[in-house]
Structure 1
Amino acid sequence: MCSQPPASPRWPTWSTRGPILACWFLAINFATWCCSSSHGAEPGSVSLASAIHQPISFQLDIQPILTARGCNAGACHGKQRGQNGFQLSLLGFDSEFDHNAIVRSSRGRRLSLTAPHESLLLQKATATVPHGGGVKIEPGSSDHLTLLRWIEQGAKRSVPNEPVLESVVLGNDEFVMSSGQTAELSLTATYSDGSQRTVTSQATYLSNDPAVVSVDAAGRMLAGSLPGETAIMARYMNHICVANAQIPREQEIPASVFHDLPRNGFIDELVFAKLQSLRIKPSEPAEEWVFLRRVFTDLIGRLPRPEEAREFLESADPGKREHLVDWLLSQREYADHWANQWADLLRPNPYRVGIKAVLNYDNWIRQQFRENLSHDEFARRLVTARGSTWRNGAVTLYRDRRSPDEMATLVSQLLLGVRLECAKCHHHPFESYSQADFYQFAAFFGKVAHRGTGLSPPISGGEEIIWTSESGTVKHPVSGEIMTPTPLFGSVDLSQHDDPRVALAQWMTTDNPLFAKVHVNRLWAHMMGRGLVEPVDDLRSTNPPSNPQLLDALADHFREIGYDQKQMLRTIALSNVYALSSIPNETNSSDRLNHSRHYRQRLRAEILSDAISDITLTPTSFTAMPTQSKANQIWTTRVDSVFLDTFGRPNENQDPPCERIPDTSVTQTLHLMNSRELSGRITNDDGRVAQLASSDRSATEIIDELYLAVYSRYPSEGERQYAESLIATAGENRRGAIEDLMWAMLNTPEFSIQN
């Protein structure tokens, strides 16, 4: 065989190298191809002769090459309009389209069946001719040879008795590594005929945190220099696997440290178990005043008043934290605080859907929290809403989202934590959801009908009725097929309901793990400073939770208590993990995932605004709102407030659900330092400073009042001495000294950052 190379002009560039070199080259590369391409046999078990005649499958052999080498990536020919007139489906999700694009489109100019080696597809990929993407496939490589053989065989769409790819699994999906250590991933594909293939070299890999563990194109992982953990995604032909890599700290921590930690339920057990595996010691418990301020702002969105702070700090009751949490959850501020957060996720622009519709929508949201409606019933009422926008505020959702695809995007992200929008145009790049899955899900909203004046921005003042039509379909945008309403997994019985949305709501809220998980993750992020999954509404296998066991336990608990949000918040607030200090120790300063300490966060804009009102005793006046209104009672962000906009209130021109930017900024700092409004409130003749200055209170009492109002704590001895000296040296200008002191306190990070 080596002495008689093929007589056809398939190898003109190789034949000039001499018969011995040609035989050696062919033998090596065909043997490599056998190891990676044979079905129903162990690697290397197919002979060279049989490999030459092995039928090449476009879907099983060619598309994996194009995907692994990035030819059909979003930055190349997989983008929406392709690249330089050549378009492939993103990541190879549509084999029929890709085969037609390569073989038939542009009059078939990309292939030459009579001279396969001169095919433009090969010359571009190997950069034999100029190629904007550079060299994607090395000349003479096994990938190059496989493509060449496929063209020689006629570039067929399929081969006889072609099996179907059924699953892809990792040989090992859990790695515990040390700094600088390497490890290799191994990926095996299984087909419908029972055959298997090692596809490690033709998969694509992505590390969620390359600084912790990086991964190269061959699946080789390298641990970084810092302790931590991350997930490694392996994708092969729209099948995704995830490996978790963990780098514990090198220094051991005695088991007695974790054994002695106080525990108050499953949250503490699961968090401390994870920290022990990482050799991370949790921070010390937070001081009483820190817990007090934290739980007030988290549960009801305001600072404790001085008398409330004094009562808690001076109480010797061992159960005072439980009593405080229960009391807070019973306060009327709870409803406005949480409704304000859901308004970010749901509330549309009033100039688009109408001022009256948005006002009714806002009132509806707040009423659900006043009634402490269970989260599953809240979701059912929202998804199945029908009626007038002037009588049932929930239907404003459908006035704003007017097409089934828009509703599918919002509902899947908001209530299931699935960002399904990517699948609207192509197969989801990080999930198993296809374009068909998207439109089958959207079909649940196909019968939603509108009756009324419709939208006429920027006024849109008319009433609109949302109802369920007897007809209404959703078609696949490519095939034109009428889609049957189908959930993302599992099944529903559509025969029991005239409105498919009712079946969807029942499926979502009945034993659906995603429904409970996304909400408890959102609550956890609010209370703890970071979600177990980030972003909080992006639950997928390639974005795993930092503590999967804890997320499962929280979701199970949420279902067990009947989706009662108040009870869920109580469970979190009374855990010892929630009450940890934000001050790091020598082991957890770099931990950003595992809640070994409380993660500091800037207070929400509305909390800061109301805090300044409460501290200065000067209420804020908002347009289009009753007097004495709080910032978290505002029904639309169209109500002007420079302060709220500066501190991150979302813009209603954004597409909800809106995400607030939690970071601090120079603008915020300058606003607190230079705001004339803030200065005027501090110096107001009816404000707290004026009242304290004109009272007969001593300097010590005045200072205690200020510190309790601003920080929810008493001053340290050094702070007290310094403040007393300011007031004493001010003489008759005692009020000016107190004004300066309050201004300085409101400009400290301790005021605007939750510890």
Structure 2
Amino acid sequence: MPFKPVIFSATILLSFQLCAFGEVSFSRDVMSVISKSGCNAGGCHGNQNGKGGFKLSLWGGDPDHDYKELFSSGTRVNLEDPKSSKILLKPTLQSKHEGGKRFDVGSDEYRILLEWISAGASTDLETRPALDSIQVSPPVSIISTPERSIDVKVEARFSDGTRIDVTRWAVYESSNLIAEVGDFGTVQFKQPGETTVLVRYLNGRASMRAAMIKDNGSYEWNGPDPRNGVDEHVFSKLRLFRQNPAEICDDLTFLRRVSLDISGSLPEPETAKSFLLDERQDKRSRLVDSLLESKEYADYWALKWADLLRVEEKTLDPKGVQKIFTWLSEMIGQGKPLNQFTRDILCATGSTYENPPANFYRALRLPVNRAEAVAQVFIGSRINCAKCHDHPFERVSQEDYYRFAAVFEGIDYEIIENKRKDGFDKHRFVGEQIVKLVPIKDMDQKKLLKDPRTNERPVPGFLDADADSLKSYDHRLDELSSWITSHPRFAKVQANRIWANLMGQPLIDPVDDVRETNPASNPELIDFLANELIKSDFNQRELIRLIANSSTYQLSSDPEGISGIGPEENFARARVMRYPAEVVIDAAHQSMSVEAAFSDTSKSNRAISMPGVESVHLSKDPYHGDRFLKVFGKPARLTNSDAERSNETTLAQVFELTAGETINGIIKKEDNRIGRLIGEGKDDLQIINELYWAVLTRPPSSPEWSLMLSYVSLAENRRSAIEDISWGLLNAKEFLLRK
């Protein structure tokens, strides 16, 4: 189904209940007041260390703890004189309170707390029905000016079947500054735009998307025909937002874009000229097919996985890094299905040299690190918050966290040799290791992982509370890989990652944060892509092919005539962005016909094929090419996050491009493209034309012809003038940025 909104602009009149069950309940009403007032937020008493000697669980994740904490001081709850209780005096500023006023005397919040204390301040945590879920309506709402507000309704659903309107007691937060949400669930827009409204009630989490668009009564759709399901879902949302997409980009723009996006490599001038002259209707799809079979494609996407899997020399050693990068490239080149690829990684044991994916566990030495990495990379779940407290955004408790971490216990290492030069650096290993699973009976019981709340060893299990228990601890990695690759989020996070790499903008942002409270900008599209990935047996090439052949991917980046909110977020036009560090430096060398040189142990001559990061981040004497990569954001691979890489532009990059050794060295190298063209006796016109095709994948425009020919003809030194032109082209936005 295409993007389906709920157009919802009428005002809802809500009748709120003061108490969820007709009488004051600690588990529902008191806990709701504490959350609604912000008392258990991270900046207040929900802080890890509490505030003013009073520590509540973050966002009410542990009501039993909170009840005990309320009574840990005799003055917080005063049963003999309820009105003198500190939980009434401080938030109303009848008594000094660093957190300021949270509610007024006589307010609903005040009355609930006072009535609860007056009735004896009992707990009902074990007797009241549990909260199953909360439902937010409408799930999607779009209004047009002059309307500026949307009323949201929240319904709580309990285990006994009870459904209660809790709009008054839910906590709301807008994902950006274009809108604010009032205490009673009214979304008030400050300007046109789209936002996600996060909603909390007790331990329930939900979200809805809201947007305000400018009224455009004369709107008519004027876009290309959809080529596949990608376009159907993208164009459906654009119509809804009364936006028209850009035109389809020209052939040379497409050639350059798809070559760099899929293979990380520039097309050669002759390839570009031939493509331009090719009159076949299917030449673009033929090009996509050709790129997907190239060695560069395999290396470039292996590079992306190497970032995620922390392929770096300090923990793996140079040979291990080379082994796993080669394995990644081979698996991608062979088209190994992503689910089997993942299984091979998660189940890998043995020699880190003979079985390269075993390096994944060599890079992650602790059970908690393995658990966090696996959850984030493969199912888009950032569980690290649950290490200290129940996860504030997901249904992952602290107990779930340690149960999952326990699955990764007993992964040990036999160090065959360690030839590290720095004997004081205990985190560095140089030599082969054997990754092995140790039987539970053979583990050092004193070193086993313990849940800090109970000080007991957790029972190993998966994050999903409904998942089957481990059948065999000795085969836990096999069971883990089956659970991960069959998880609904697995296909979704892989599809989202592929989409983001091709389009420059994920559907779920951040890429590896897939949860109900972080909805996709186009939920139907991400579901479609995930289903297509599953239908293709997790064939990465097929999903890339589907996206690259869509009209959406092939839209121009030209902003002219593109109006409305979020044209790039809604994919109304191609996103302009800087290419990754490796692509930029390889393109510079390739365009000038110069072989790159890096100081890594593999002596790589292409940055996209560089296995590790040691020469970039750890070397005491890096080559200028290594320094270039660092300045342009190549990650040190110290995390398992897509976000570690930076594609932002910085002042240091400007200096590197204009005055750095790398670009100037490429231009001045005697036998580069400039030297070859001069040596072949080419005239100025031919040389300038060739340089434009090599660097920018297009011929010069008429004004450029005139300017460049004039510049060379007036120069005292012909070669120096041509070098200046090359320097200008390599510093052009058109060279550095995807368009």
Relative to the length of structure 2, the TM-score reads 0.90
Measure the CA separation in 1 of the matches of 2:362 and 2:339: 22
Deviation at 1:612, TM superposition (A): 1.3
Aligned partner of 1:49 in structure 2 is none
- Tell me whether 1:506 sits opposite 2:482 in the alignment: yes
Aligned partner of 1:99 in structure 2 is 67
Alignment of 1:179-328 (within 5 A): 179=145, 180-211=147-178, 213-226=179-192, 228-252=193-217, 255=220, 257-258=222-223, 261-328=224-291
* 1:600 pairs with one of 572, 576, 579: 576
Deviation at 1:537, TM superposition (A): 0.8
Cα separation, partners in 2 of 1:253 and 1:342, compared to 1, 3 Å: farther
Aligned partner of 2:619 in structure 1 is none
- Tell me whether 1:584 sits opposite 2:556 in the alignment: no
Percent of pairs with identical residues: 34
Measure the CA separation in 2 of the matches of 1:488 and 1:253: 49
Aligned partner of 1:163 in structure 2 is 129
Alignment of 1:40-51 (within 5 A): none
Q: Relative contact order: is structure 1 or structure 2 higher (C-alpha 8 Å, sep ≥ 6)? A: 2
Aligned partner of 2:41 in structure 1 is 73
Deviation at 1:230, TM superposition (A): 2.0
* 2:99 pairs with one of 123, 133, 140: 133
Measure the CA separation in 1 of the matches of 2:593 and 2:639: 34
Report the AA paired with residue 231 of structure 1.
T
Q: Is the 8 A contact 1:475 1:482 kept in 2?
A: yes
Cα separation, partners in 2 of 1:196 and 1:494, compared to 1, 3 Å: closer
Cα separation, partners in 2 of 1:570 and 1:162, compared to 1, 3 Å: closer
Measure the CA separation in 2 of the matches of 1:38 and 1:577: 48
What do the CA deviations read for 1:328-356 (whole angstroms, capped 9, x no partner)?
A: 11111111111111111112542244344
What do the CA deviations read for 1:189-225 (whole angstroms, capped 9, x no partner)?
A: 23344444332222110112331x3212221111233
The residue matched to 1:177 in structure 2 has which SS?
strand
* 1:743 pairs with one of 727, 730, 737: 727
Measure the CA separation in 2 of the matches of 1:160 and 1:615: 71
Aligned partner of 2:109 in structure 1 is 143
Deviation at 1:490, TM superposition (A): 4.5
Deviation at 1:443, TM superposition (A): 3.0
Q: Is the 8 A contact 1:487 1:504 kept in 2?
A: no
Deviation at 1:233, TM superposition (A): 1.4
Cα separation, partners in 2 of 1:195 and 1:342, compared to 1, 3 Å: closer
Deviation at 1:177, TM superposition (A): 1.3
Q: Is the 8 A contact 1:605 1:648 kept in 2?
A: yes
Alignment of 1:541-556 (within 5 A): 541-556=516-531
Deviation at 1:744, TM superposition (A): 0.9
Alignment of 1:436-455 (within 5 A): 436-452=399-415
Cα separation, partners in 2 of 1:692 and 1:506, compared to 1, 3 Å: same
What do the CA deviations read for 1:402-459 (whole angstroms, capped 9, x no partner)?
A: 2222111111110101111112222221222222222232232234333337995354
Aligned partner of 1:37 in structure 2 is 19
Q: Is the 8 A contact 1:417 1:539 kept in 2?
A: yes
Measure the CA separation in 1 of the matches of 2:344 and 2:675: 49
Report the AA paired with residue 265 of structure 1.
N
Report the AA paired with residue 249 of structure 2.
A
The residue matched to 2:644 in structure 1 has which SS?
coil
Cα separation, partners in 2 of 1:611 and 1:700, compared to 1, 3 Å: same
Deviation at 1:34, TM superposition (A): 9.5
Aligned partner of 1:537 in structure 2 is 512
The residue matched to 1:35 in structure 2 has which SS?
coil
Measure the CA separation in 2 of the matches of 1:294 and 1:109: 67
Deviation at 1:625, TM superposition (A): 4.3
Deviation at 1:173, TM superposition (A): 2.6
- Tell me whether 1:633 sits opposite 2:609 in the alignment: yes
Measure the CA separation in 2 of the matches of 1:466 and 1:625: 24
Cα separation, partners in 2 of 1:554 and 1:754, compared to 1, 3 Å: same
Deviation at 1:117, TM superposition (A): 1.4
Measure the CA separation in 1 of the matches of 2:668 and 2:433: 49
Q: Is the 8 A contact 2:637 2:644 kept in 1?
A: no
Measure the CA separation in 1 of the matches of 2:571 and 2:547: 13
Aligned partner of 2:422 in structure 1 is none
- Tell me whether 1:720 sits opposite 2:705 in the alignment: yes
Aligned partner of 1:687 in structure 2 is 672
What do the CA deviations read for 1:685-724 (whole angstroms, capped 9, x no partner)?
A: 1111122223322322212101100000111111112222
Q: Is the 8 A contact 2:491 2:534 kept in 1?
A: yes
Specify the structure having the higher radius of gyration (Cα). 1
Cα separation, partners in 2 of 1:270 and 1:195, compared to 1, 3 Å: closer
Q: Is the 8 A contact 1:441 1:485 kept in 2?
A: yes
Alignment of 1:275-674 (within 5 A): 275-452=238-415, 457=426, 459-471=428-440, 475-479=450-454, 480=456, 482-488=458-464, 490-492=466-468, 494-495=470-471, 498-510=474-486, 512-588=487-563, 590=565, 591-625=567-601, 629-639=605-615, 640=622, 641-653=626-638, 659-674=644-659
CA RMSD of aligned residues (A): 2.4
Cα separation, partners in 2 of 1:172 and 1:617, compared to 1, 3 Å: closer
Deviation at 1:118, TM superposition (A): 1.3
Q: Is the 8 A contact 2:504 2:577 kept in 1?
A: yes
Report the AA paired with residue 543 of structure 1.
N
Aligned partner of 1:17 in structure 2 is none
Task: Figure out how many residues of one structure are paired with residues of the other and give that number.
Answer: 702
* Residue ranges of structure 1 left out of the alignment (5+ in a row): 1-31, 42-53
Deviation at 1:657, TM superposition (A): 5.3
Q: Is the 8 A contact 1:492 1:507 kept in 2?
A: no
Deviation at 1:113, TM superposition (A): 1.8
What do the CA deviations read for 1:619-644 (whole angstroms, capped 9, x no partner)?
A: 12111345562111222211131110
